[in-house]
């Protein structure tokens, strides 16, 4: 027997391989059939005996009809509050209207009337010597020259000696020419003329 196998081991090996392949193929085929039957039985296509059974029809459930949303409630109209008429000012109408107090009228401003010049002559030192031509003093015209002569003022040296007291004393007799003694510098002019300094006079006050 052993010698027989040793002589034909190749045939035995081929037969063994064929047997193994056949067994494996059979086993694989039976496994696929069982799986298919189980799958069909789970899906309801086969009964327990393995016979095919028609599946039960699945009932069609109609889609639910959508419910329309409820209509919004209308907002209540705002209540109109009647306006209260303003109370008539009865008390003000009945009260007597006070008349405005009249303002005192302003009195027209009246320019002070200059006081009349005093009578007589100013209380100053009298002139000594012949009278000079006072019209050479700038600002002394014919009318003012006559007025000065009537007041006893006739010489340059007389005017050159005046101080503040004499100026105020004479000024009140000059009527409309008041203030001319200081404004026209009579005293300074008289000093130049009393010394007969014509050049100094003309240099400061202009040509005679």
Q: According to the model, what pLDDT value does residue 17 have? A: 85
Please indicate, yes or no, if residue 23 is contained in any of the structural domains. yes
Please indicate, yes or no, if residue 116 is contained in any of the structural domains. no
- Measured distance CA(8)–CA(6) in Å, rounded: 6
Q: According to the model, what pLDDT value does residue 194 have? A: 96
Please indicate, yes or no, if residue 72 is contained in any of the structural domains. no
Q: According to the model, what pLDDT value does residue 33 have? A: 54
Q: According to the model, what pLDDT value does residue 178 have? A: 94
Q: Looking at the 3D structure of the chain, how many domains does it have? A: 2
Please indicate, yes or no, if residue 54 is contained in any of the structural domains. no
Query: For residue 118, how far is the Cα from the chain centroid?
Result: 69
Q: According to the model, what pLDDT value does residue 39 have? A: 42
Please indicate, yes or no, if residue 195 is contained in any of the structural domains. yes
pTM score: 0.46
- Measured distance CA(123)–CA(142) in Å, rounded: 23
Please indicate, yes or no, if residue 139 is contained in any of the structural domains. yes
Please indicate, yes or no, if residue 60 is contained in any of the structural domains. no
Please indicate, yes or no, if residue 165 is contained in any of the structural domains. yes
pLDDT mean for each 10 residues of the chain (208 residues): 67 84 79 51 48 57 65 66 53 56 63 71 94 96 96 96 96 95 96 96 94
Residue 192: give the domain boundaries: 134-205
121: burial class by Cβ within 10 Å (0-12, 13-18, 19+)?
middle
CB of 5 closer than 8 Å to CB of 16:
no
């Amino acid at each position: 027997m052993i010698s027989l196998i040793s002589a034909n081991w190749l045939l035995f090996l081929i037969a063994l391989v064929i047997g193994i392949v056949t067994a494996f193929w059979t086993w694989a085929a039976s496994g696929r059939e069982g799986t298919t039957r189980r799958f069909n039985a789970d899906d309801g296509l086969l009964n327990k005996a393995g016979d095919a059974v028609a599946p039960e029809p699945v009932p069609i459930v109609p889609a639910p009809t959508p419910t329309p949303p409820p209509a919004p409630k209308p907002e209540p109209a705002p209540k109109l509050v009647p306006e209260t008429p303003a109370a008539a000012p009865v008390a003000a109408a009945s009260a007597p209207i006070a008349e405005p107090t009249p303002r005192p009228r302003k009195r027209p401003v009246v320019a002070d009337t200059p006081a009349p010049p005093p009578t007589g002559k100013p209380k100053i030192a009298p002139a000594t010597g012949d009278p000079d031509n006072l019209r050479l003093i700038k600002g002394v015209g014919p009318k003012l020259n006559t007025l000065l002569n009537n007041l006893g003022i006739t010489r340059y040296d007389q005017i050159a000696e005046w101080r503040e007291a004499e100026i105020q004393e004479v000024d009140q007799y000059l009527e409309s020419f008041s203030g001319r003694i200081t404004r026209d510098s009579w005293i300074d002019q008289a000093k130049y003329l009393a010394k007969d300094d014509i050049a100094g006079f003309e240099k400061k006050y202009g040509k005679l």
